[in-house]
């Protein structure tokens, strides 16, 4: 990460299947509320997506569907939020179909999709080691450039919000 920026990695592992009846009876699960608050408090959202059957994984879409509930809370969580989408796959196309599949989702949520860079990591099995270390120098540089560009953009937007609030 660039200096004076911080990345917080959150998990969707404990998010249940979306069920409107459960929401009506019990409201939004605590695990979802915590993740919503984390996104609302962040300057930007970096979505790192796998690709399943040439689209986004259903479990990831399910998580975002929960995060969009109740709908009245969407502006607080996603409205104008800078969102960057990237991903890695074992094949040669680096999640391009999955990344494209996410676009209408975040447009619907009125997020601000950052398109200042693209990060498609192909052959992830060879460029990333077992320990998660990035072994390939070109891949490392591509990730660095993507993150640096997105962080600069989120900083710009945060400064603009601060000026507007004065
Ligand atoms: C059901 C399923 C479908 C997949 N379909 C694709 C695909 O269409 N394109 C692709 O590049 N990789 C595909 N993969 C490989 C995933 O991209 C790979 O599993 C992922 O990068 C690793 O993330 P995961 O451990 O969260 O599954 C698929 C994997 C699974 C399990």
Q: Report yes or no: 137 and 107 within 8 Å, Cβ to Cβ.
A: no
Ligand 1 near 89 CB (within 6 A): yes
User: Measured in angstroms, how far is the CA atom of residue 18 from the centroid of ligand 1?
Assistant: 22
Instruction: Report the interhelical angle of 30-40 vs 58-67 (nearest 10°).
Output: 80
pLDDT confidence tier of residue 158, bands split at 50, 70 and 90: confident
pLDDT confidence tier of residue 21, bands split at 50, 70 and 90: very high
3-class SS of residue 94: coil
User: Measured in angstroms, how far is the CA atom of residue 50 from the centroid of ligand 1?
Assistant: 6
Ligand 1 near 48 CB (within 6 A): no
Question: How high is the mean pLDDT of the chain?
Answer: 96
The pTM of the whole model exceeds 0.85: yes
pLDDT one-digit tens code per residue, 128-157 = 988 989 999 999 999 999 999 999 999 988
Give the ligand 1 atom nearest the CA of 91: 11
Nearest CA to ligand 1 atom 31: 52
pLDDT one-digit tens code per residue, 45-66 = 999 999 999 999 999 999 999 9
pLDDT confidence tier of residue 28, bands split at 50, 70 and 90: very high
Local structure of residue 57 (DSSP, 8 states): -
For residue 116, the tally of other CB atoms under 10 A from its CB is 11
CB crowding 94-103: b at 16 or more within 10 Å, else e: bbbbbbebbe
User: Measured in angstroms, how far is the CA atom of residue 51 from the centroid of ligand 1?
Assistant: 5
Share of the chain above pLDDT 70, in %: 100
Does the pLDDT value for residue 74 go beyond 90? yes
């Amino acid at each position: 990460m660039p200096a004076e920026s911080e990345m917080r990695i959150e998990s969707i592992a404990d998010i249940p299947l979306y069920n409107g009846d459960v929401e009506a009876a019990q409201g939004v699960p605590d695990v979802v509320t915590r993740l919503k608050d984390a996104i609302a408090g962040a300057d930007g959202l970096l979505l790192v997506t796998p690709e399943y059957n040439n689209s986004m994984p259903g479990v990831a879409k399910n998580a975002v569907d929960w995060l969009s509930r109740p709908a009245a809370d969407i502006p607080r969580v996603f409205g104008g939020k800078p969102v960057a989408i990237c991903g890695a796959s074992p094949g040669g196309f680096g999640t391009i179909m999955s990344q494209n599949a996410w676009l209408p989702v975040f447009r619907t949520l009125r997020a601000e999709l950052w398109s200042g860079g693209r990060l498609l990591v192909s052959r992830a099995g060879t460029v990333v080691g077992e320990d998660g270390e990035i072994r390939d120098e070109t891949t490392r540089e591509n990730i660095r450039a993507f993150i640096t560009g997105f962080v600069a953009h989120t900083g710009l937007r945060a400064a603009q919000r601060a000026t507007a609030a004065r």
